[in-house]
């Protein structure tokens, strides 16, 4: 199916607080609760039309730089970046039923899941809607190859119309049958992940406004979660508060369940479960949360459950984690390289190096993004270099827990590289009792 979109009103795409008459609107987005809280905090909401145009221009620039005819996208987060459309994001992540082609001339074609054309009909940047991108095995069975070939025929049509003789495209992710069909069609395939990561790495003014709003909603939800975390309930009970409060404000989903308490905080990466929390336990949480506007708020905090006084060891772990992210954050500025941060960053005490976090910092936008800053121990195996620029946003992280230790501490702030220096976008407080001597 091929549907051209013309003469559409863009009013529904413009941002304004919703009223009772707007409750039947098609697109997901912030709720009245979120708008009221942002207004009380003095936050400025993004101009969504301007944000979408900025993102498209970023993609076009990366394509033109490589003399590519366009980029073919299957990753739902890349599709979201290019079109600002959303459709069953988690399901689509492992069932590639949607695709998008962004031509270097700016023409966008979206293949959506069947009977879903209404989900993007309000967006002026999507010029054409099609279906037929579902050539994974569950959908296509033993017809995978023929369905993939039919899809590539439609890509060929678009190239003939919008790329002249250029047969070079970027592709982010694709089923094997699709890649082989592109090869047979004589279409030269290049790395679409690189194109999209570099397009996404510099946030525009409206993306930063959206991020401030998403972080604010997440921090409100974190506060409610911390209040609810009392002795006698389970980790799952506490986690459910964060998830519910995110949804209440128009947030979307959470990538992980990284909340643990007491001895389950060491080692890190244990996800929340049925453990009943006790007075004096450390709780550690990493939000990994996709909030309003589809923007990630990736914040980590640790605190004491109940009214117990923190132990000397809990304070020691916490102070090291706090120092680690504060010292490393202070290195952020335009022109600084990733390797400089690695070399000049806070050096973990030896007892905590074996269980160090995977990165010192990572980029963030719609989710965890490029670039990653590695610890000195990991540079040779996993490191690379790049130069920080204004508009990058990085999460500065620490996990402090010794091998065999009873507990661990997780802290993380989301930080903007400014025109000079940095701005910490995170406002959630640290624990005074754990920082005290």
Both tokens assigned to 221: 């939800």
Q: How far apart are CA 255 and CA 307, in angstroms?
A: 31
> Nearest CA to 78 among 186, 190, 198, 183?
198
150 and 226 inside one domain:
no
- Write down the pLDDT at residue 113: 79
Which CATH number fits the domain that encloses residue 213?
Answer: 3.90.230.10
Q: Which residue has the tokens 């643990």?
A: 260
Angle separating helix axes 32-40 and 205-228, nearest 10 degrees:
100
Q: Is 142 exposed, middle or buried (0-12, 13-18, 19+ CB in 10 A)?
A: exposed
Section 139-154 average pLDDT: 91
Section 410-421 average pLDDT: 97
Q: Tell me whether residue 24 is in a domain.
A: no
Q: Tell me whether residue 340 is in a domain.
A: yes
Contacts of 5 (CB under 8 A, 6+ apart): 121, 126, 127, 128, 129
- Write down the pLDDT at residue 24: 60
On the question of pLDDT at 7 being above 60, the answer is: no
Both tokens assigned to 112: 């959506």
- Write down the pLDDT at residue 229: 97
pTM of the model: 0.93
Q: How far apart are CA 61 and CA 232, in angstroms?
A: 55
168 and 238 inside one domain:
no
Is residue 219 within 8 A of residue 99, CB to CB? The reply is no
Both tokens assigned to 316: 């020691």
168 and 290 inside one domain:
no
Section 264-269 average pLDDT: 98
Residue at which a domain ends, from 175, 199, 223 = 199
**How many independent structural domains does the chain possess?**
2
Residue at which a domain ends, from 182, 199, 216 = 199
Section 123-141 average pLDDT: 84
- Write down the pLDDT at residue 410: 98
Q: What is the DSSP string of 150-179?
A: HHHHHHHHHHHHHSTT--EEEES---HHHH
Confidence of residue 101 (pLDDT cuts 50, 70, 90): very high
Which of 83-92, 117-126, 277-286 is least confident? 117-126
> Nearest CA to 416 among 403, 427, 405, 408?
427
- Write down the pLDDT at residue 138: 86
Is residue 16 within 8 A of residue 89, CB to CB? The reply is no
353 and 287 inside one domain:
yes
| Domain residue limits at 409 | 205-435
Is residue 401 within 8 A of residue 266, CB to CB? The reply is yes
On the question of pLDDT at 212 being above 70, the answer is: yes
> Nearest CA to 106 among 74, 62, 152, 46?
62
242 and 384 inside one domain:
yes
Q: What is the pLDDT of residues 365-374, one digit of tens each?
A: 999 999 999 9
Section 57-81 average pLDDT: 97
Q: What is the pLDDT of residues 380-390, one digit of tens each?
A: 999 999 999 99
On the question of pLDDT at 18 being above 70, the answer is: no
Confidence of residue 17 (pLDDT cuts 50, 70, 90): very low
Contacts of 85 (CB under 8 A, 6+ apart): 79, 110, 112, 119, 120, 123, 126
Q: Tell me whether residue 25 is in a domain.
A: no
Q: What is the pLDDT of residues 26-45, one digit of tens each?
A: 567 899 999 999 999 999 99
Q: Tell me whether residue 134 is in a domain.
A: yes
18-22, 143-147, 266-270: which is most confident = 266-270
Confidence of residue 11 (pLDDT cuts 50, 70, 90): very low
Which CATH number fits the domain that encloses residue 190?
Answer: 3.40.350.10
């Amino acid at each position: 199916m091929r549907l051209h979109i013309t003469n559409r009103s863009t009013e529904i795409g413009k941002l304004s607080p919703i009223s009772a008459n707007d409750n039947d609107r098609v697109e997901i987005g912030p709720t009245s609760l979120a708008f009221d809280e942002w207004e009380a905090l003095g936050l400025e909401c993004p101009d969504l039309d301007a944000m979408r145009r900025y993102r498209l221009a970023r993609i076009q620039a990366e394509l033109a730089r490589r003399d590519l005819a366009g980029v073919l996208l299957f990753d739902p987060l890349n599709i979201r970046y290019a079109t600002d459309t959303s459709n069953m994001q988690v399901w689509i992540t492992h069932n590639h039923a949607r695709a998008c082609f962004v031509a270097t001339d700016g023409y966008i074609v979206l293949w959506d899941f069947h009977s879903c054309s209404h989900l993007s009909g309000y967006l002026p940047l999507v010029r054409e809607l099609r279906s037929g991108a579902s050539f994974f095995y569950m959908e296509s069975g033993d017809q995978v190859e023929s369905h993939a070939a039919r899809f590539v025929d439609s890509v060929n049509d678009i190239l003939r119309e919008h790329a002249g003789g250029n047969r070079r495209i970027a592709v982010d992710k694709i089923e094997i049958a699709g890649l082989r069909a592109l090869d047979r069609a004589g279409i030269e395939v290049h790395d679409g992940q690189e194109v999209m990561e570099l397009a996404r790495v510099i946030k525009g003014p409206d993306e930063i406004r959206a991020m401030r709003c998403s972080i604010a909603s997440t921090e409100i939800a974190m506060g409610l979660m911390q209040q609810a975390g009392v002795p006698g309930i389970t980790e799952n009970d506490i986690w459910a508060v964060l998830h519910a409060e995110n949804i209440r404000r128009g947030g979307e989903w959470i990538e992980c369940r990284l909340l643990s308490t007491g001895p389950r905080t060491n080692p890190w990466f244990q996800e929340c479960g049925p453990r009943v929390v006790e007075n004096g336990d450390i709780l550690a949480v990493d939000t990994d949360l996709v909030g309003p506007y589809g923007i990630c708020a990736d914040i980590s905090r640790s605190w004491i459950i109940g009214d117990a006084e923190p132990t000397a060891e809990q304070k020691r772990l916490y102070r090291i984690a706090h120092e680690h992210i504060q010292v490393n954050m202070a290195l952020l500025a335009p022109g600084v390289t990733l390797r400089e941060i690695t070399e000049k960053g806070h050096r973990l005490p030896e007892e905590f190096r074996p269980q160090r976090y995977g990165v010192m910092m990572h980029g963030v936008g719609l989710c965890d993004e490029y670039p990653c800053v590695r610890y000195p121990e990991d540079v040779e195996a996993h490191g690379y270099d790049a130069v920080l620029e204004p508009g990058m946003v990085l999460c500065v992280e620490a996990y402090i827990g010794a091998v065999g230790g009873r507990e661990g501490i997780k802290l993380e702030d989301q930080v903007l590289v400014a025109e000079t220096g940095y701005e910490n976008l995170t406002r959630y407080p640290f624990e005074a009792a754990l920082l005290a001597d």
